[in-house]
Amino acid sequence: MTYRKRLAFLVFLDSFTVVAAIYLSYFIINPSKELLNPTIIISSLILLISHHVFASIYRLYKRAWEYASIKELLAIFNAVSLSAITTGVFQQIANQDVYVRILGITWLIHMVLICGTRLSWRIFRDLYYKVSSDNKRTLIIGAGMTGTMVVRQLLNNRQSKLSPVAFLDDDKKKHHLQIFGLPVAGGIDELEEVCRDLKIDTIILAIPSLNKRELNTIYKKCEETDMKVLTIPKMEDIMLGKVSSNEFKDVKVEDLLGREPVELDIEGITETISGKTILVTGAGGSIGSEICRQICRFSPSKIILLGHGENSIYQIDIELRNSFQEEIEIIPVIADIQDRERIFEVMEQYQPFVVYHAAAHKHVPLMEYNPREAVKNNIFGTKNVADAADAFGVNTFVLISSDKAVNPPNVMGATKRFAEMMIQHLSQKSSTKFVAVRFGNVLGSRGSVIPLFKKQIQSGGPVTVTHPEMTRYFMTIPEASRLVVQAGSLAQGGEIFVLDMGEPVKIIDLAKNLIKLSGYTSEEIGINFSGLRPGEKMYEELLNENEIHPQQVFPKIHIGKAALINEEALLNFMEDFPVLETGEIRGKLLDMANNRIKVTAAV
């Protein structure tokens, strides 16, 4: 129905309702009275005109009555009451007899009929929705503000395939009450019983205040019901209008793993970055690109996107230009960190204030097969960027390191530990503040196990896990990148910053969660154990026991006190490297990285 047709219909309906109300009231008070007398006709006209005037003022003809609520009822009350009062006033002015009882009954009938005609739209919509729909019966976990908002959205959305039938909430004061006509059926502990009794198909988690541990606990209870589990978007995305509150998403493995995000020292980071030139190496990688996104939030004057792969640099360049081009000068630079002359040229040209060095070879088994390339990129490449930073007066140099640098049994971890020691030595004689940031595995990065697991699940399985007892630390890409940015603002020189990453996660649990979240069971997909690959450790550490300061320098951030290898030994290895055999490279690297060469003072 078009707006004009709808308006004409409502005006006609209201006109009939108003006339019916006043004639019914006269008939109720005095059934024998002539109904076509001048008093009744004049009163009807006054009430009719005043009703339409106040109906326009309170926008009764522009409201979507299928979504009527308390506000709409108040608008009807105001319009009907004011039209009745206006009628009484005009009767008084015209010296007509004012029948208070008749006006009172007229007001009551008028109110009932207008409310009835309007709310019937809402009643019809709700009945039609429930009767004609074969939607999924949905249980809402959380009867707070977010849960009620979710239910309102679902009830008002005709296209939604979810039909809310009940709430669950641990607040006992809400038990046995109804919200929007839906019962609060009990607490989380009664989940399985409620799902069975109410024949639930889908569960929505509507408690945005849940931390990772609480979400994991509730999700495990939901798993026992074999129901589809959805969660709401982040509240900031809803408030910013990026998504609607009824755009639910599947629970992702990232929601269940990792830890609570680190709160940043906004003032300190702003002082370090705002208005400065920032250079990021490896800017096209998963970590490097996220570091660029985080940095741009703090309004640098320039950001230099340095990388070897033109396609990845092109993609992050376009992304940042779409969001920040008006505020920040974005400069893409194609360069290989192994090309010392080119790196010095870039550093001299742009004179960055802070360098975030994320470029590296990170794949453990591949580096076991290619140790020479790992050394050239992770050690010589790092030295090139660090020396250039020192030569051209960069204020802060932040090396992206890894938990694999602790007691490394593999080439990749050894090259990362070598790089740490190299910049620690450089920090002792340079005006540039050189620091490293160490963290665990990153969910969703190119080298993460999750993309591999997803591909295996999509192809029907099985999922390949190296060992049932293997554990890893996990964090999200944004969290890792925030830590890197934060470390740059905390740097004094020579530190190894380490994130308190909580408890390690079993890889087999990660695989089972991912299978479940993909809609399958472990029996359907299957899990095979392949054994440890070259260079892999069963357990990973962030610091040796004798390396960690117990005090946190920032919430959830520690400073390590890793021992230094004699600088001469590092330089000797780099000088001898070109003539070393592959086996010799690996052996000497591991000796130095594991402190099996003479140790000097600790940092």
pLDDT band at 539 (very low <50, low <70, confident <90, very high): low
- Number of Cβ within a 10 Å radius of residue 344: 16
The alpha carbon of residue 164 and the mean position of all alpha carbons in its chain are separated, in whole angstroms, by: 24
Distance CA 149, CA 567 (A): 62
- Strand ranges, E, within 439-491: 441-443, 463-465, 471-472, 474-476
Question: Bigger pLDDT: 100 or 339?
Answer: 339
Q: What Rg value do the Cα atoms of the chain yield, rounded?
A: 35
pLDDT in tens, 101-116: 777 888 888 888 888 8
Model confidence, pTM: 0.62
| Segment 168-184 mean pLDDT | 85
pLDDT at position 284 over 70:
yes
H/E run at residue 591: helix 582-593
pLDDT at position 122 over 70:
no
Q: 471: which strand partners? A: 506
pLDDT band at 400 (very low <50, low <70, confident <90, very high): very high
pLDDT band at 600 (very low <50, low <70, confident <90, very high): very low
Q: 356: which strand partners? A: 280, 398
The reply to whether 130 belongs to the active site is no
- pLDDT at site 314: 95
| Segment 222-233 mean pLDDT | 77
pLDDT at position 556 over 90:
no
- pLDDT at site 304: 97
Structural domains for the chain: 3-129 (no CATH), 134-251 (3.40.50.720), 266-445+473-501+542-602 (3.40.50.720)
pLDDT at position 291 over 80:
yes
- pLDDT at site 96: 61
pLDDT band at 310 (very low <50, low <70, confident <90, very high): very high
| Segment 408-418 mean pLDDT | 90
- pLDDT at site 124: 63
Residue with tokens 């896990």: 465
- What integer best gives the mean pLDDT of the chain? 79
Question: Bigger pLDDT: 359 or 536?
Answer: 359
Can the peptide bond before residue 233 be classed as cis, meaning omega within 30 degrees of 0?
no
- pLDDT at site 601: 39
Q: Encoding tokens for residue 260?
A: 């609570």
pLDDT band at 2 (very low <50, low <70, confident <90, very high): low
Nearest alpha-carbon partner for 19 in 112, 154, 109: 109
- pLDDT at site 514: 76
pLDDT band at 377 (very low <50, low <70, confident <90, very high): very high
- pLDDT at site 125: 57
Query: Do β-strands 441-443 and 178-179 pair in parallel, antiparallel, or remain unpaired?
Result: unpaired
pLDDT in tens, 419-449: 999 999 999 899 999 999 887 766 655 556 7
Give the largest CA-CA distance in the chain: 121
Distance CA 77, CA 83 (A): 10
Contact of 288 with 447, CB cutoff 8 Å: no
- pLDDT at site 302: 95
Q: What percent of the chain has pLDDT over 90?
A: 21
| Segment 363-377 mean pLDDT | 91
Catalytic pick among 404, 416, 433, 556:
404
Q: What percent of the chain has pLDDT over 70?
A: 77
- pLDDT at site 473: 67
| Cα→Cα distances 209→166, 202, 234, 385, Å | 20, 21, 10, 42
pLDDT at position 160 over 90:
no
Residue with tokens 């357990």: 539
Distance CA 449, CA 452 (A): 5
- pLDDT at site 571: 85
